[in-house]
A and B are shown apart, each in its own frame.
Chain A
Amino acid sequence: MLKKNNMHMKALGKLGLLVIIFGWVVFAKAQDCYYFHEYQCKFPDNTYYLNGQSRSALFTYGMTSQFKMVTFGGEDYHISICYQFKIKNVRFRLIEDNEDKTVLFDNAENKYVTEVSFSNNVARRIIIEISVPDEPTAKDRGVPQCVGVLIHSRKTYQEPKNKLGF
């Protein structure tokens, strides 16, 4: 009788473990990219403030997506990207959102760096374009993964005008 109860206890223990594992898998799958950019992307020095236009999104291999942000004149911006993909060549470009679509920055021409800072003299609409290259042999191909874009800004530092005396 005691042996039978022990067997039941073991079976219940295994069941409990299975429920926990199952629950964890479901929970993990349900996770979105909530605050991914704030946890994973590189922060600039503390002269910058977090900019509310930062965001994260789900990407798959071979996908390109863009978002349009607004920058003000007389301000500096620091933009960093971060991603869960195991590759290192996720491309990000800054494109001025005008008729010319001027490419302001392309990390493919800068060793696929994940951050850039710039000063801006006039207000501009800027497109941030993220491209994850296709990897036909990647084991996680087809699995959506997070990409974050973290934006910080500050007022551009103005050199004080030389003034004689106190």
Chain B
Amino acid sequence: MRGRIVFLLGGLLILANGCNNTTGKQEAAQGGQNDTIAVQQEKKFQSVYYRFPTPNEVFSFIKSEKLAFDPSLINPVSNVSKYLDSKSQTIALGVYIADLAYITIFESYNNSLAYYKTIHNLSEKVRITSAYDLEVAKRIERNLQNLDSLKNISVESYSSMVEFLIMNNRETTLALIASGAYIECFYIAFNLAGKYSPSNPLIVKIIDLKYAFDNLYSYLEIYSDNQQVKEVAQQLKPLKSLFDQIREDKSSKTRVKQDKNGHLIFEGGTKLQIDEKVYNEIRNAVFSLRQKFI
């Protein structure tokens, strides 16, 4: 018995020592890495990450009092049975997440539970277990009249999913979800905006989403060693080229002011401008992509 205990203790010590050695190796490697970092410091930056607003933030940005919820614009939950392979399920998950964001931001709460449950089912199929769970669905049922709670649930669930995917090195999945979500956001936004008019404030806001799309596209490019991400990046490339045709008026330089409370005010800077031709081309490209995604 004592022999077994000594053996077990010895084994644990060896294991612990092994870990220490690994740590030692990591430190040695990090020592070397620090030298590399010193070299990279001269080049200034070690790495760049891309972030882009969530679907909730996109709809909060474009929402105005004049815009009403249009149920014909969202992807019907009955379509969910059409998505059979992992790529189409992941993209469709993004589409439904954008639909749920549209539903909650535009306060059509009767639709929220069905869309939440659809997102839950799809997220299980693509093995995302930590967000959009059924406990939260029960919270939705309890909060159907509480607008702020429903918005918070939608934001928290998305945020939880993003953290889960990043921490589990599944950024490729996030890239596909975000692609589906952004195309759905654009599809709804272009439908709400209607025909081109230079004075339409919603069109001005849609143009501003160019930067968000640029960051999303750069994010896709980083992960395009994954075949599915590569395919989606190729699908989005013509749209990226069209967004690049939006004119940038650089006549005003950025100025930074500060108010008496220390709050900064960024004024001036590049303004984006679009003409009718480019607007219609982007709109058509979005509609065609959305058709492929759903």
Seen from chain A, the residues whose Cβ lies within 8 Å of a Cβ on chain B are 7-8, 11-12, 14-15, 18-19, 22, 25-26, 29, 32, 34-35, 49-53, 55, 57, 60-70, 72-73, 75-76, 96, 98, 100, 102, 104-105, 116-125, 129, 134, 141-142, 144, 153, 155
CA distance A29 to B19 in the complex (A): 10
* Residue among B8, B19, B48 making CB contact with A15, cutoff 8 Å: B8
Q: CB distance A119 to B264 under 8 Å? A: yes
Which of B131-139, B157-165, B234-242 interfaces with chain A?
B157-165
The CB with the most chain A CB atoms within 10 A, among B8, B256, B262, B266, is that of B266
What 11 new A-B contacts, CB under 8 Å, besides A19-B12, A64-B46? A35-B163, A52-B159, A53-B53, A62-B34, A63-B37, A65-B46, A65-B48, A70-B211, A104-B266, A117-B262, A125-B211
Q: Smallest CB–CB gap between B208 and chain A, Å?
A: 4
Name B's interface SS: helix
Q: Which residue of B lies closest to A37 (CB)?
A: B163
Q: CB distance A18 to B12 under 8 Å? A: yes
CA distance A8 to B1 in the complex (A): 8
Q: CB distance A52 to B53 under 8 Å? A: yes
Given A18-B12, A50-B159, A65-B45, do A60 and B271 touch, yes or no (CB 8 Å)?
A: no
CA distance A69 to B54 in the complex (A): 11
Given A67-B50, A70-B215, do A52 and B254 touch, yes or no (CB 8 Å)?
A: no
What is the number of residues of chain B that contact chain A, defined by CB distance less than 8 Å? 62
Q: CB distance A118 to B263 under 8 Å? A: yes
* Residue among A64, A100, A102 making CB contact with B41, cutoff 8 Å: A64
Q: CB distance B159 to A62 under 8 Å? A: no
CA distance A58 to B89 in the complex (A): 32
- 6 closest A-B pairs (Cβ-Cβ)? A52-B54, A123-B208, A67-B49, A118-B264, A53-B51, A142-B30
Does B104 count as interface, using CB distance less than 8 angstroms?
A: no
Question: What residues of A have a CB within 8 angstroms of the CB of B271 in the complex?
Answer: 122
Question: What residues of B have a CB within 8 angstroms of the CB of A64 in the complex?
Answer: 41, 44-46
Question: What residues of B have a CB within 8 angstroms of the CB of A62 in the complex?
Answer: 34, 37-38, 41
Q: Which residue of B lies closest to A105 (CB)?
A: B264
CA distance A26 to B30 in the complex (A): 19
- The A-B contact count (CB < 8 A) is 162
Question: What residues of A have a CB within 8 angstroms of the CB of B69 in the complex?
Answer: none
Q: Smallest CB–CB gap between B68 and chain A, Å?
A: 19
Q: Smallest CB–CB gap between B168 and chain A, Å?
A: 10
Q: CB distance A122 to B41 under 8 Å? A: no
Q: Which residue of B lies closest to A76 (CB)?
A: B263
- Residues of chain B in range 34-75 having any CB-CB distance to chain A below 8 Å: 34, 37-38, 41, 44-54, 56-57, 60-61
Question: What residues of A have a CB within 8 angstroms of the CB of B198 in the complex?
Answer: none
Q: CB distance B266 to A53 under 8 Å? A: no
Does B281 count as interface, using CB distance less than 8 angstroms?
A: no
Question: What residues of B have a CB within 8 angstroms of the CB of A116 in the complex?
Answer: 264
